[in-house]
Amino acid sequence: MKPLRQQVMETVAFIEPRIKGSVDIGFLTGTGLSQTLSSLKVIWEIDYADLPNFPQTTVESHRGKLVYGRIADKSILVMQGRFHLYEGYTPRQVTYPVRLMQELNIKNLILSNAAGGINLNFSSGDIMLIQDHINLTGQNPLIGPEEPAWGIRFPDMTRVYDKGLGALARKCAADNDIILREGVYAGLLGPSLETPAETRFLKGICGDAVGFSTIMEAIAGVQAGMKILGLSLITNINNPDAPEQTTLKAVVETAQRASGKMNLLLCDMISQMP
């Protein structure tokens, strides 16, 4: 097998001639959120299957397409469909899109996901600005041989989610009459959902939302020196004292129902991003 960076550079060599100038923003979409950007003027889209060395998605609710386009004066590369540890991908495969973005010199990374609400003040359909995260996956994309071109060995994690982008999210939410929750995303391996005892534990360690994505990409993004915005769409509320059953179907339906709001927020934000 070729070294990982060489693989990424081959994907870069395929994409670079197809983009004009620099790309301002990279966006990884979450469950049920792949069509999130209505004002995106698509320039081209390529199935992951047609990208050299790119991992393939296995989850039906994730489409597996790379889309290049523009919103206002910003150019953006959207990964519709991400890779999850629970699918059996390694942390390095999960972060392949982030490394690709890094090698394309993309400085802003947007991560969206569907998540369960742990904070009982939240409602299903709410959007939560991720202020910080707790990595409970037991995994890390920086494990293994060091790749100096991708950053330092022990990146500082005290400022993962960019304060400026957070402030812009608050402003755009207010301008569009969108309630914006804020909190801590607890990232688990999945794919089994949480027991009430696990939910109680997540509450106890100050988690506000829980999900099975985002953390690996955020860690790689920090190492890459990217400004990161994380948004969770709360698709269900996990109350350990009155547990309700959750299904993927319900999660996807709620995410799709609320995706208009996510769309409005993101399109407004992207057009105003520095």
In whole angstroms, how close is the CB of 165 to ligand HPA at the nearest point?
23
Q: Choose one: 58-66, 102-110, 113-121, 164-172; the region binding ligand HPA (CB under 6 A).
A: 113-121
Q: Choose one: 20-28, 121-129, 151-159, 206-214; the region binding ligand HPA (CB under 6 A).
A: 206-214
In whole angstroms, how close is the CB of 56 to ligand HPA at the nearest point?
22
Q: What are φ and ψ of residue 100, in 5° steps?
A: -60, -45
Tell me how far apart the terminal alpha carbons of the chain are, to the nearest angstrom.
40
Burial group, residue 255, by CB count within 10 angstroms (0-12, 13-18, 19+)? buried
Burial 62-87 (b: 16+ CB within 10 A, else e): bbbbbbbbbbeebbbbbbbbbbbbbb
Site string for ligand HPA, 14-43 (x = CB under 6 A): ------------------------------
In whole angstroms, how close is the CB of 90 to ligand HPA at the nearest point?
20
> By beta-carbon distance, which residue lies closest to ligand HPA?
116
With CA atoms as reference, report the closest residue to 113 among 25, 28, 48: 28
Q: Return the residue of 66, 180, 193, 258 that touches ligand HPA, per CB under 6 A.
A: 193
Provide the 10 A C-beta neighbour count for residue 44.
11
**What is the pairing mode between strands 25-28 and 108-117?**
parallel
Q: Which is nearer to ligand HPA, 116 or 141 (CB)?
A: 116
The residues that touch ligand HPA, with contacts defined as CB under 6 A, are 114-116, 193-194, 210-212, 235-236, 238, 246, 251
